[in-house]
C-alpha cells in the first residue's frame, strides 16, 4: 500500500477542481524553465512550472488541410482537391463547424502544467446557462418567503438547491476542462442541462404533492445529462503538442489511442489507461439513483429521505475522484491527466456568489412592491426606504467580505485550490453551504423589510383602536421563527465566508488573520443570539435590519483596513531583519541567518 510518506513528500492532487501540484520524491523532477516554459506566479500564488502550446487550428483550416488539400485553389469550387461544393471537403467543414473537435485545455505531465497562454474568458453558453441558476434561485427564494421559519419548508428548499448547485458545478467543470467552442454541440448540451433544472424550479412549490414525481425525475435527468457529458468528454482528442517540444511526445499518441481522461505511463503500453472521466460519469450516475427512486414513491417522508440520500452521495463525490486521482499519480511521474484552469474556476465561483447575493436585492424589491400594492394605507414610505437601504447594506457587507477580505490573497500567499488537495475540497464545498446561507438570509431580509414598512392604520380607524387596546406594536409583527432563521442565516453567512478565507494559505504577511477571523465569528454569533432572544417587543424589524447592517458593514470595513495593512507588510518590517525573508519557504530564514552568523564569525583576510 502506498502511504503519503513513502518516497513522497506531498502530493497535491485536486482533480477535478484544481491543478495537480508538483510532488517530490525519487522520480524525475521538472527541469529548469526554458523558452516556452515558465514558473507561473499570479494573484492565486505560485503554481507549477508551465509550458504553453499554440492555438489549435480553426475548423476551416483543419478541414481544408485534411488529406493534403488546401482551403482554396482558385478554381471557385471551395476546395483544392477538385471536388464540387457538395464534395467531402465542404461537408467536413460543415460538420466540424457544427461539432468542433475538442481537446484538453490544460493538462499535467511530469510535474509540468501545459496550457494555452491566452486568458480564458466565459463563453456565451456559460453565461446563458447562468440564467437558469438565477431563475431557480429566485423560485426557491420566492417559495421560502411563503413559510419562512418552517423547518420542513426550509429543508425542502435546501434539498432542491443542492441539486441545482451540484449540476452547476459539474457543468462548470466540463466547460473548464474542454473550453467553450460555441458550436451546435455545446449549445444543444446547454439546453438539455437547463431543461431539468427548469423542471426543478417550476415544481419546487409543490414538491410533496402534485409534482412529487416530476421534480425528483428532473433531478435525476439533470445528473444523467452530466454523466453523458462526462462520457463525451472522455472521447475527445488530446491537446496539441507544445511548441517548445522538438518532437511529438509519445504520451500524447498513447492518450489519443485510448482516452483523453486516461493517465498514460510512458513505460507502459498505450493500452494501459485509467479513465478518470468515465469513472466520474459512473459515480455521478450512481449518486443520482436516489432521485430516480424518489420519483416512484408517494410517501412524503420517503421522498425527503431519498433526497437526503442523494445529497449524502453527491457531497463526497468530488473528494472521491480526487482521492482516486491522487492514488494513481503516486510514484508515476509521466502520467498525463486533465487539469482545470484555476483562474477561470475561481471566476465562476465568484460569479455565482454575485448571483446568489443578488437574490437579496430581488427579495427586497419583491417585498417592497407587494407591500405597496396590498397595504397602501398602512405603508410608511420613509420606513420602507430606510429598511431597503439597510437590506442593501447587508448584501454589500457579504460582497465586501467575500471579494475584498476573504478571497483577497496577500503577497506570497496561495489560493486554497493551489495550496493543498484538502483545502481545495474544503474551499469548493464550503461554497455549497455559503450560497445556501446567503439565499436564506436574503429571504429573511425581504420579510423584515416588509414587516418594518407596515405601521398602524390611521388613529380613527377601528383597526387602530383594536390594536392599541391590545397593546400592539407600531409596526407589523416579525414572527419569532422567521427572526431566528434570519439572524442565524446571517451569522452563518459571515462565518462560512471566514472559513472560505481561512482555507487559503495566507503567507507570512497574514498577521491579522489569526485575530480578525475569530473576532468576526464571535461578534456575529453574539449579535445573532442577542437579536433572537430580544424578540419583537424589544427590537423591531427595522432596528434588527439596522443592527445587522451596521455590524456587517463595520466589520467588513475594519477587516479591509487590516488586509490592506497586511498587503503592505505593516506588521512585518520590510527593512528589518524580520521582514527580509517575507514570502520565502519555511526554513529559508533560518538558513540565511546561519550563513550570516558564519560570515560574521569567519576570520578577516585583512
**Residue 146 CB-density burial (10 A; 0-12 exposed, 13-18 middle, 19+ buried):** exposed
d(C-alpha 161, C-alpha 179), whole Å = 26
pLDDT at 332: 63
Task: Lowest mean pLDDT of 38-42, 88-92, 537-541, name the range.
Answer: 38-42
| For range 508-515, the mean pLDDT | 84
Q: What are the tens digits of pLDDT across the range 265-324? A: 444 433 334 577 788 888 999 999 999 999 999 888 999 999 999 999 998 887 887 777
What percent of the chain lies above the pLDDT cut of 70?
Answer: 65
pLDDT at 399: 93
State how beta strands 45-53 and 112-116 pair: parallel
pLDDT at 549: 95
pLDDT at 477: 59
Question: What are the grid coordinates assigned to 406, written together?
Answer: 476573504
Task: Lowest mean pLDDT of 252-266, 359-373, 392-406, 411-425, name the range.
Answer: 252-266
Residue 33 carries which DSSP code?
P
Give the confidence band of 133 by pLDDT, cuts at 50, 70, 90. Answer: confident
Q: Which residues pair with 414 in a beta bridge?
A: 505
Region of 415 on the Ramachandran plot (φ > 0 left; ψ -120 to 50 alpha; else beta): beta
d(C-alpha 598, C-alpha 338), whole Å = 47
Helix (H, G, I), strand (E, B) or coil at 108: strand
Query: Does pLDDT of 4 surpass 70?
Result: no
Residue 13 carries which DSSP code?
E
In this prediction the pTM is: 0.77
Give the confidence band of 337 by pLDDT, cuts at 50, 70, 90. Answer: low
Give the confidence band of 380 by pLDDT, cuts at 50, 70, 90. Answer: confident
Q: Which residues pair with 49 in a beta bridge?
A: 39
Query: For residue 154, how far is the Cα from the chain centroid?
Result: 23
Residue 102 carries which DSSP code?
-
Q: What are the tens digits of pLDDT across the range 26-85? A: 333 333 333 344 444 455 555 666 666 655 544 444 444 444 444 444 444 444 444 444
| For range 78-103, the mean pLDDT | 61
Give the confidence band of 342 by pLDDT, cuts at 50, 70, 90. Answer: confident
Highest mean pLDDT among 143-147, 298-302, 376-380: 298-302
The candidate with the shortest Cα–Cα distance to 360, out of 384, 395, 386, is 395
| For range 179-206, the mean pLDDT | 84
Give the confidence band of 161 by pLDDT, cuts at 50, 70, 90. Answer: very high
Q: What are the tens digits of pLDDT across the range 183-195? A: 787 888 888 888 9
Q: What are the tens digits of pLDDT across the range 573-596? A: 444 444 444 444 444 455 555 665
Query: Does pLDDT of 397 surpass 90?
Result: yes
d(C-alpha 504, C-alpha 496), whole Å = 13
Task: Lowest mean pLDDT of 169-173, 339-343, 349-353, 387-391, name the range.
Answer: 339-343
How high does pLDDT run on average in the chain?
73
Task: Lowest mean pLDDT of 44-58, 94-108, 402-416, 430-444, name the range.
Answer: 44-58
Task: Lowest mean pLDDT of 241-250, 415-424, 492-501, name the range.
Answer: 241-250
Query: Does pLDDT of 404 surpass 60?
Result: yes
pLDDT at 146: 76
d(C-alpha 254, C-alpha 263), whole Å = 9
d(C-alpha 5, C-alpha 489), whole Å = 41
Query: Does pLDDT of 398 surpass 90?
Result: yes
pLDDT at 209: 79
Query: For residue 391, how far is the Cα from the chain centroid?
Result: 25
Amino acid at each position: 500500500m502506498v502511504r503519503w510518506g513513502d518516497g513522497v513528500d506531498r502530493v497535491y492532487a485536486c482533480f477535478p477542481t484544481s491543478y495537480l501540484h508538483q510532488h517530490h520524491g525519487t522520480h524525475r523532477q521538472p527541469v529548469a524553465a526554458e523558452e516556452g516554459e515558465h514558473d507561473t506566479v499570479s494573484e492565486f500564488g505560485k503554481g507549477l512550472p508551465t509550458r504553453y502550446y499554440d492555438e489549435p487550428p480553426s475548423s476551416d483550416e483543419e478541414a481544408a488541410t485534411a488529406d493534403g488539400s488546401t482551403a482554396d485553389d482558385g478554381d471557385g469550387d471551395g476546395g483544392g482537391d477538385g471536388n464540387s461544393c457538395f464534395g467531402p471537403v465542404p461537408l467536413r467543414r460543415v460538420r466540424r463547424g457544427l461539432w468542433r473537435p475538442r481537446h484538453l485545455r490544460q493538462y499535467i505531465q511530469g510535474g509540468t502544467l501545459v496550457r494555452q497562454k491566452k486568458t480564458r474568458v466565459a463563453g456565451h453558453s456559460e453565461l446563458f446557462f447562468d440564467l437558469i441558476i438565477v431563475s431557480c434561485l429566485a423560485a426557491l427564494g420566492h417559495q421560502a418567503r411563503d413559510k419562512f421559519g418552517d423547518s420542513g419548508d426550509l429543508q425542502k428548499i435546501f434539498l432542491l438547491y443542492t441539486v441545482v448547485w451540484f449540476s452547476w458545478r459539474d457543468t462548470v467543470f466540463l466547460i473548464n476542462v474542454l473550453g467553450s467552442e460555441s458550436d451546435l454541440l455545446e449549445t444543444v448540451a446547454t439546453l438539455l442541462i437547463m431543461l431539468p433544472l427548469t423542471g426543478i424550479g417550476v415544481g419546487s412549490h409543490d414538491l410533496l404533492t402534485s409534482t412529487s414525481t416530476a421534480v425528483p425525475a428532473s433531478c435525476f435527468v439533470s445528473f444523467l445529462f452530466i454523466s453523458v457529458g462526462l462520457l463525451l468528454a472522455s472521447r475527445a482528442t488530446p491537446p496539441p503538442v507544445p511548441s517548445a517540444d522538438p518532437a511529438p511526445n509519445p504520451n500524447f499518441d498513447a492518450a489519443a489511442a485510448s482516452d483523453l481522461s486516461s493517465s498514460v505511463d510512458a513505460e507502459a503500453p498505450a493500452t494501459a489507461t485509467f479513465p478518470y472521466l468515465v469513472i466520474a460519469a459512473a459515480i455521478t450516475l450512481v449518486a443520482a439513483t436516489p432521485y430516480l427512486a424518489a420519483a416512484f414513491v408517494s410517501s412524503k417522508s420517503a421522498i425527503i429521505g431519498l433526497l437526503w440520500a442523494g445529497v449524502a452521495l453527491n457531497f463526497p463525490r468530488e473528494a472521491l475522484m480526487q482521492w482516486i486521482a491522487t492514488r494513481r499519480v503516486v510514484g508515476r511521474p509521466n502520467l498525463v491527466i486533465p487539469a482545470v484552469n484555476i483562474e477561470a474556476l475561481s471566476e465562476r465561483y465568484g460569479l455565482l456568489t454575485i448571483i446568489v447575493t443578488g437574490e437579496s436585492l430581488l427579495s427586497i424589491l419583491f417585498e417592497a412592491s407587494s407591500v405597496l400594492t396590498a397595504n397602501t394605507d398602512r405603508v410608511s414610505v420613509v420606513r420602507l426606504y430606510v429598511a431597503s437601504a439597510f437590506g442593501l447594506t447587508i448584501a454589500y457587507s457579504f460582497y465586501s467580505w467575500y471579494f475584498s477580505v476573504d478571497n483577497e490573497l496577500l503577497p506570497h500567499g496561495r489560493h486554497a485550490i493551489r495550496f493543498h488537495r484538502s483545502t481545495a475540497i474544503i474551499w469548493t464545498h464550503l461554497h455549497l453551504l455559503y450560497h445556501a446561507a446567503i439565499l436564506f438570509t436574503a429571504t429573511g431580509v425581504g420579510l423584515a423589510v416588509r414587516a418594518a414598512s407596515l405601521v398602524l392604520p390611521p388613529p380613527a380607524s377601528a383597526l387602530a383602536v383594536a390594536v392599541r387596546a391590545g397593546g400592539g406594536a407600531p409596526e407589523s409583527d416579525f414572527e419569532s421563527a422567521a427572526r431566528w432563521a434570519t439572524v442565524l442565516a446571517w451569522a452563518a453567512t459571515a462565518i462560512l465566508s471566514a472559513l472560505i478565507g481561512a482555507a487559503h494559505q495566507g503567507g507570512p504577511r497574514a498577521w491579522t488573520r489569526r485575530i480578525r477571523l475569530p473576532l468576526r465569528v464571535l461578534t456575529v454569533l453574539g449579535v445573532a443570539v442577542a437579536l433572537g432572544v430580544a424578540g419583537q417587543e424589544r427590537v423591531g424589524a427595522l432596528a434588527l435590519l439596522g443592527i445587522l447592517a451596521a455590524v456587517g458593514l463595520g466589520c467588513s470595513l475594519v477587516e479591509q483596513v487590516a488586509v490592506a495593512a497586511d498587503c503592505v507588510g505593516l506588521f512585518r518590517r520590510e527593512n528589518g531583519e524580520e521582514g527580509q525573508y517575507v514570502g520565502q519557504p519555511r526554513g529559508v530564514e533560518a538558513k540565511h541567518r546561519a550563513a550570516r552568523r558564519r560570515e560574521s564569525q569567519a576570520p578577516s583576510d585583512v
